[in-house]
Structure formats: C-alpha cells, structure tokens
C-alpha cells in the first residue's frame, strides 16, 4: 500500500496570496498543495491535504492521522502560539510530526516566539517560504 502523509494547515492559510504577501509571498494554498503532491509523488507517497480555520477540526484531523498515515506535516498558523489542545493531540501521535512555517516566527513579534507544537514536533522548518513544505516531505520520506 502507498504510504500517505497528512498535511494540515491552520487558520487564515486559505488566504495565502492575498494575506500579507510581503511576509507570506504571492502563492496560494492551492499552489502549495500542488507542490506537495508533486514532491510526494517523487517518493511514491500520497498526500491528504487539509485546511481549517477551526481549532477543533485540526484536533480531529490530528487524531485521524493516528491511523493509516506514515507522517504528519502541520502548519498550525496562529494556533502554534496558543493551542494546548493541538499540543495534547499531537502527543497522542506516534508517527513523525513535522512543523512548517512559511515565515520565521522567531524573527517576528515576541508573541510568535513560543510554539506549543514545536515542543512535540520531530522537526521544525521555518522561514523557507512555500518550499518549506517540500522540505518537510523530503524529511518525512527519509524518516518513514
């Protein structure tokens, strides 16, 4: 069976391309999904790519990743810095967890310096733009 990667995206990432392009670039989330699908295909991996503005959806999907997925890639967006619920859900997952940020939160406002997700992630990639997602898939491919 082809190994599958769960790729989750948090709030406001549906507005990539429109939202603060000077920080996040002009590409859309659809462009990122295409990049992920192409990168995964090179490693004979499949992706399940999802986005939600709702914390509970992300908790449910992290729980879904516990079954039938080889790795979890997540850009939790603003929930990175606030969500103990995502942190706790991620602690129940035994597959590799790769945290991705398009920008580098550690070089931005102080309130972005704390990551509750980073505390439980296997790897964190930040500040590499959309290509950070491709890097995350490359890392996942090595780990699984």
Catalytic residues: 24, 101
Buried b or exposed e, range 104-117, using 16+ CB within 10 angstroms? ebeeeeeebeebbb
Residue 137: closest CA among 76, 46, 26, 66: 46
Residues 90-129 that bind ligand DQA (CB under 6 A): 101-103, 105, 112
What is the CB-side half-sphere exposure of residue 28 using CA atoms within 13 A? 4
Write down the least CB distance from residue 85 to ligand DQA, Å.
Answer: 16
Q: Does 75 bind ligand DQA (CB under 6 A)?
A: yes
Q: What angle do CA 73, 33, 103 make, to 5 degrees?
A: 60
Name which of 102 and 134 has its Cβ closer to ligand DQA.
102
Among the listed ranges 36-44, 62-70, 74-82, 85-93, the one in contact with ligand DQA (CB under 6 A) is: 74-82
Write down the least CB distance from residue 21 to ligand DQA, Å.
Answer: 13
Q: Does 28 bind ligand DQA (CB under 6 A)?
A: no
Q: How far apart are CA 128 and CA 53, in angstroms?
A: 23
Q: Are 73 and 6 in contact (CB under 8 A)?
A: yes
Q: Does 9 bind ligand DQA (CB under 6 A)?
A: no
Among the listed ranges 39-47, 77-85, 86-94, 134-142, the one in contact with ligand DQA (CB under 6 A) is: 77-85
* Residue ranges binding ligand DQA (CB under 6 A): 12, 75, 77-78, 80, 101-103, 105, 112
């Amino acid at each position: 069976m082809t190994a599958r990667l769960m790729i989750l995206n948090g709030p406001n990432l549906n507005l990539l391309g429109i939202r603060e392009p000077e920080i996040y670039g002009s590409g859309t989330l659809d462009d990122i999904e295409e990049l992920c699908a192409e990168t995964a295909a090179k490693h004979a991996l499949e992706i399940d790519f999802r986005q939600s503005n709702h914390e509970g959806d992300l908790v449910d999907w992290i729980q879904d990743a516990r079954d039938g997925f080889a790795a979890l890639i997540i850009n939790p967006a603003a929930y990175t810095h606030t969500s103990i619920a995502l942190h706790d859900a991620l602690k129940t997952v035994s597959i590799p967890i790769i945290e991705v940020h398009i920008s580098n939160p550690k070089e931005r406002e102080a309130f972005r310096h704390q990551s509750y997700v980073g505390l439980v992630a296997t790897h964190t990639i930040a500040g590499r733009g959309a290509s950070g997602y491709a890097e995350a898939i490359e890392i996942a491919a090595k780990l699984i």
